[in-house]
Amino acid sequence: MYNDSEKIMANRLTHIYTKTGDEGKTSLGDGTRVEKHHLRVEALGNVDEFNSIIGLLLTTNIDREKTTTLKKIQHHLFDIGGELSIPNLRKIDDEKIKFIEKNIDAMNKNLPPLEEFILPGGSHEAALCHQARTVCRRVERSLFRLNEIEKINAVSLKYINRLSDFLFVLARQINKEKNISDTFWQKNI
């Protein structure tokens, strides 16, 4: 069941172009008009870019279980976008954090302990995980900047922090499954 703010957002999709943003302002999901460079809009754009990279990762050759997990994460990211677009909306909860942590723990238990830093690389899929991880960190920074002036869902901040860890472990897991070594940082090279 939609609340009033979510109905506004759902009804906005009838026209793809509205011409209402031509002067540098855009509407949030609740109808509030803000500058396109507002921290909330910047954070929303970063979440959208991050979700797009997850979508790109989904076009690669990864197994069904990882695909299912990543698709669920995409929906969670869209929910975070909804929270940003409709101030005071809460869609991310502790169960979603537990979902990410459970996946991290399951993958990490089969990986060798880290003895050195890892550079982005290895397989194509792992490299995309690392790219997604770095954009996830940008999302996190933009959410914390926004949170300093307008409080947002604290659980979403935790979720994004866990998600970058998930992507790091996922990159290592994918490389292991493909028998491709992680690229370790070498001192004094």
Token pair recorded at residue 154: 């604290």
Token pair recorded at residue 20: 């209402």
CA dihedral 22, 28, 33, 36 (to 10 degrees): -50
What pLDDT digit, counting tens, does each position of 143-162 carry?
Answer: 999 999 999 999 999 999 99
- Rounded to a whole number, what is the largest CA-CA distance in the chain? 59
What pLDDT digit, counting tens, does each position of 52-80 carry?
Answer: 999 999 999 999 999 999 999 999 999 99
Pick the CATH number of 36-182 from 3.30.413.10, 3.50.30.60, 1.20.1200.10, 3.30.70.920: 1.20.1200.10
Q: Residue 116: pLDDT band by 50, 70, 90 thresholds?
A: confident
Is the pLDDT reported for residue 188 higher than 90?
Answer: no
**Domain residue spans of the chain:** 36-182
Q: How many CB atoms lie within 10 A of CB 49?
A: 13
Q: Which position has the higher pLDDT, 101 or 28?
A: 101
Q: How far is CA 81 from CA 4, 115, 127, 154, 160, in A?
A: 17, 37, 25, 14, 12
What pLDDT digit, counting tens, does each position of 2-19 carry?
Answer: 455 454 445 555 665 555
* Residue 135, φ and ψ in degrees, nearest 5: -70, -35
Q: How far is CA 53 from CA 15, 47, 163, in A?
A: 26, 10, 13
Question: What is the predicted pLDDT for the residue at 2?
Answer: 45
Q: Mean per-residue pLDDT for 117-134?
A: 94
pTM to 2 decimals?
A: 0.84
Q: Residue 33: pLDDT band by 50, 70, 90 thresholds?
A: confident
Is the pLDDT reported for residue 115 higher than 90?
Answer: no
